[in-house]
Amino acid sequence: MKTAYETERLYLKILSPDNAGDVLSFLYYNKEIFEPYEPAKPSDYYTLDYQSKMLSAEYNGFLQSHYLRYYAIKKEDCSIIGTVSFSNILPQPFDSCAIGYKIDKSNQRQGYATEMLICMQNAMFNDFGIRRIEAYVLPQNVPSINLLESLGYKNKGLSAKHLSVNGKINHLYHYSLSLSLSRSLF
């Protein structure tokens, strides 16, 4: 797996702790749109120190091939506008992982999320040998559901009481994309 990929409008990169300020700005700016869909954050989450430690942990996860987070950097102005991550990476015989993603509120509905996901799904299938990517989404997150379905993900059903968000246990839709089903996208 490479540390960087490129699309028409984006660079997708594994970042280092030196980029903690930019990551913190991206996360803080989008706090109100990300938090309704995510588990509670530690009290020091929105600090430079915490983000620096996270970037270090993410880089180590990349080196060990068990967690990958790529930051989407807009070529036009070199700003971070999103992330795509892969967790629960299981080698053979499963060759599967779970995907997560975020897109900046000022850059939504412009095709960046689609561009970012197609590039990184292709990388996971072709460079990393993954055959199945799974996604979990809250039923009320309609934009994310629409994105997944537009990319060929199939709804596998409801995972009951799967995730705690803001102190409430939530059901999640379970989606998956298999290598054979995604070939038409690339």
Residue 182 lies in a domain: no
What pLDDT sits at residue 186?
41
Query: Is residue 104 assigned to a domain?
Result: yes
Residue 183 lies in a domain: no
Tokens of 65: 């091939």
Mean pLDDT, each 10-residue run in order, the chain (186 residues): 95 97 98 90 96 97 94 97 95 91 96 97 93 94 95 91 71 89 46
Return all residues near 50 (Cβ < 8 A) that are at least 6 apart. Answer: 42, 44
Please state the pTM of the whole predicted model.
0.91
Q: Indicate the Cα dihedral angle 99, 95, 54, 31, nearest 10°.
A: 10
Residue 172 lies in a domain: no
Question: 179 in a domain, yes or no?
Answer: no
Specify the pLDDT at position 168: 77
Residue 53 belongs to a domain: yes
The answer to whether the beta carbons of residues 116 and 98 sit under 8 Å apart is no
pLDDT at 184 (0 to 100): 43
Give the domain CATH number at 26.
Answer: 3.40.630.30
Q: Tell me, what's the pLDDT at 37? A: 86
pLDDT of residue 165: 72
**Predicted pLDDT of residue 98:** 96
Question: In Å, how far are 61, 144, 145, 152 from 148, measured between CA atoms?
Answer: 25, 6, 5, 7
Q: Please indicate, yes or no, if residue 158 is contained in any of the structural domains.
A: no
Structural domain count of the chain? 1
Q: What is the pLDDT of residue 39?
A: 87
Tokens 């995604």 found at? 182
Hey, what amino acid is at 26?
A: F
Name the residue among 20, 175, 21, 167 with its Cα closest to residue 96. 175
Domain encompassing residue 104: 4-131
What's the DSSP call for residue 54?
Answer: H
Q: Domain for residue 26, yes or no?
A: yes
Burial label, 17 (beta-carbon count in 10 A; 0-12, 13-18, 19+): middle
